[in-house]
Chain A
Amino acid sequence: MNRYFHALIFCSLVFLSIGRAQEAGEEARSVIKITPQTAKPSVMAMVPFDETNAFFLNKRGQVGVAKFSPGLSLIGWEYYSELKWNAHPSLAVGPNYSVIMASTNEVTQAFDTDADVELDFFQALIKDWPGRDRGSIITAGPVADSHGRLLFAISAPSAIPAGEGEEAPVEKSHIVAWHPEADKLVTITESQLPIGAFAVDRSGVLAARLVMPEYKGGFFISLTELPPFDSDAPSAVPTSLPFTLPSLVIPAELTKNQEPTELAFFREHGRDKLALVCPGSRQLIEVVHSKIADVWQGSILLRQILDQSIESVVEMGPGLLLGGGEDGFIPLNGESSKFRITNIELADDGIVLDFSDEVDRYEASRADNFLVQSVSLKGGESNLNVVPMIESDGRTIVLKTGTLSEGTVIRIQCQRLPSESGATLLSNAAFYTIHRKPSPEEGKEKADPR
């Protein structure tokens, strides 16, 4: 079956129906031609099953399969199921091209049992979890991790009434893991805030979007490492449970006050990054995260302003991002050609800014073109004195600010800083959250990733 499905992948405009017939000792392959489609599917979620094929979920909850060129141009798409499923915008791929999706009360695995390229069996894979009897529901997921587990987020259950004189325990949201060989769900992280979406990278770093609607200044992203997984003891409860704390605040200023919804890890220029989509403002936000003294922090940058709104983003291949929205699939190939800040790092006595193109050296050398503010996570802010220094390649500026404080968000505004060719910055504001300062060795290493 897999062999035949792969035949689909490599046959342009031909969509495979897995045949069972025998002919001359070999199985015959029946095919369905993909009709050239003028209609674009709405795309609320995607999951690739290789670098040029992906399953997707449309806004009506139907599952489709789409084929792309290596450059991520859409070749064609077909429904994989026309059933309308009230699923969260997240999909995972199971064995034999089964598709896993989740709604508030069920994780469902859908199979094509008769190999006719249509999902026909929908197994209620998970219907129970801790706190379900007290109203806990699935809020995000499923997401597959590198250990073959399915992860999904559940809301905090209603509190058990406390006895007289006792304090009611604070119930928390969780991300739980399901493994086929485990006899129970394993809680892998907990959070005081509800989890609206999350992603996991290859190395087990979890990024979760935390829901805190009453805070208007920005949007919380938590970065934690998942506890280690022992394949010999898949039901083992982690000895230490990571707590999903807000690691980064995506400033509302950068998203035009629109909430980021879905997020995806990707790798570019040897760095792991996180992309976040803001459908309301068509902004694509990029987080370049780093771990310093066991705490995750990093820079928050505007990566792209899109022509169309997208609801979801996935990495199809290294550095190859694909967006999906009401207008179908949108390749986000490579970096934006716009002049922009591509990274921020901390140095011993300041900040290192990387740019996508050479800066105008005259403007870049003027201190009054930079406004650097240190905003304390506990409240209060101050402006920092800046002495800019331009690296010889013209693409890096070191802003000497003196010692930076931990527990702050650094806001950098490049007030008038064109590129050497006169292009204006995509966004003149960029941010860095500092929980811990790097040691001198770390700082040197970070400042020069080469």
Chain B
Amino acid sequence: MRLLVPLIAVALSALSALLPVQAQEDAPVSSESALPVGLSVKLDISRRLLKNFLTDETALIPYRNGTETPNDFSGAFSLGSPKARHVPIWDPVSCRLVGILDLKATDSPYLFLAEGPMPTSRTSGVSGEPNYFGMRLDRGRPEFLYTHGPLTVAEMIWLEDDGEIMKQRFSFRKVKGDISLVFPASWVDRITASSGSFEDNVLTVPRESAAEITLLYRLLEGAPESDADKDPQ
């Protein structure tokens, strides 16, 4: 009785929604290899209620409720680790990385704060609000699954090198044109993309590379891209 047998159909439909992300028609080229690969940090993933810390008016739009106080993050994913000083926070309401906390910061704890429209909003044909439908774990790394207009997006986030490096991998399927991703202007200098090119704060990636776009964030200012680049002395 307790087994919800009718739910089988839903389970299967959920998996069918998931599988195309794993086995895309356009076989992904491992663009991660285009970036230095550091030592992955085992993430401690939690979903929690957090006070809304966003300050940018455009980024706050999904949280507006008709009052002066925006909605809090009611189920944000916090991706921490005892080893890492940085904690990326991804929120399913706006389907984006909303912030990165710096646990050792002496002033503001927010190393990174979302600004402007969501990253995929500049891609041709994309409009409206994103729609989160789930999260999967791949080798301990969370991959957030959502749609934004015609785009089906899988966005994975993880930390490397004791949390000095954050990586964010976007996987798009069945795309019809180039992908444009927009980032906070102040962060462009600290982001390296596996493919595409930046113009101001917009990264444009050709359609053929859209199956896997990996971004490397240097969370410590002046930090090398990976341990391999560090001076052994």
Contact = CB atoms under 8 A, between A and B. Distances in A.
A, B bound: yes
Contacts of B92: 106, 124
A105 interface: yes
Contacts of A202: 1
A137 B15 CA distance: 27
Interface in B45-75: 45-49, 65, 74-75
B2 A47 contact: yes
Interface stretch (A37-45, A142-150, A333-341): A142-150
Contacts of B137: 83, 118-121
A60 B75 CA distance: 14
A86 interface: yes
Contacts of A150: 4, 7
Interface in A89-106: 92-96, 98, 100, 103-106
Nearest to B9: A180
A127 B3 CA distance: 22
B97 to A, nearest CB: 18
A303 B92 CA distance: 44
Given A106-B75, A122-B136, A135-B65, A96 B11 contact: yes
Contacts of B135: 121-122
Contact of A122 (B1, B8, B46, B134): B134
Contact of A61 (B9, B46, B132): B46
Contacts of B34: none
A105 B75 contact: yes
Kindly name the residue among A93, A105, A121, A125 whose own CB sees the greatest number of chain B CB atoms within 10 A.
A121
A234 to B, nearest CB: 9
Contacts of B18: 113, 121
Contacts of A98: 7, 11
Interface string A74-96: 00000000111110000011111
Output the residue of A60, A119, A120 with the most chain B CB within 10 A: A120
B3 A113 contact: no
B11 A95 contact: yes
B128 interface: no
A264 to B, nearest CB: 13
A235 to B, nearest CB: 13
A324 B187 CA distance: 48
B134 A124 contact: yes
A144 B4 CA distance: 7
A149 B74 CA distance: 25
Interface string A110-123: 01010000111111
B74 A123 contact: no
Contacts of B138: 120
Nearest to A125: B10
A49 interface: yes
A149 B2 CA distance: 10
Contact of B8 (A47, A96, A103, A118): A96
A181 interface: yes
A85 B48 CA distance: 7
B4 A83 contact: no
Nearest to B74: A105
B23 interface: no
A109 B5 contact: no
Contacts of A105: 74-75
B222 interface: no
Given A61-B46, A121-B134, A148-B4, A113 B15 contact: yes
Interface in A17-49: 47-49
B14 interface: yes
B232 interface: no
A267 interface: no
Contacts of B48: 84, 86
A436 interface: no
Nearest to A95: B8
A86 B4 contact: no
Contact of B14 (A111, A146, A179): A111
A125 B14 CA distance: 9
A109 B11 contact: yes
The 6 residue pairs across chains A and B that have the minimum distance between CB atoms: A84-B46, A148-B6, A123-B134, A95-B8, A121-B136, A120-B137
Given A84-B44, A94-B4, A95-B11, 12 more contacts: A47-B2, A60-B46, A84-B48, A86-B46, A86-B48, A86-B49, A111-B15, A113-B18, A121-B14, A121-B134, A180-B9, A181-B6
28 contacts: A61-B46, A61-B47, A83-B45, A84-B45, A84-B47, A85-B47, A86-B75, A92-B2, A93-B3, A94-B3, A94-B4, A95-B4, A95-B7, A100-B4, A103-B75, A104-B75, A105-B74, A105-B75, A109-B7, A120-B138, A121-B14, A121-B137, A122-B134, A123-B133, A148-B6, A150-B7, A180-B6, A181-B9
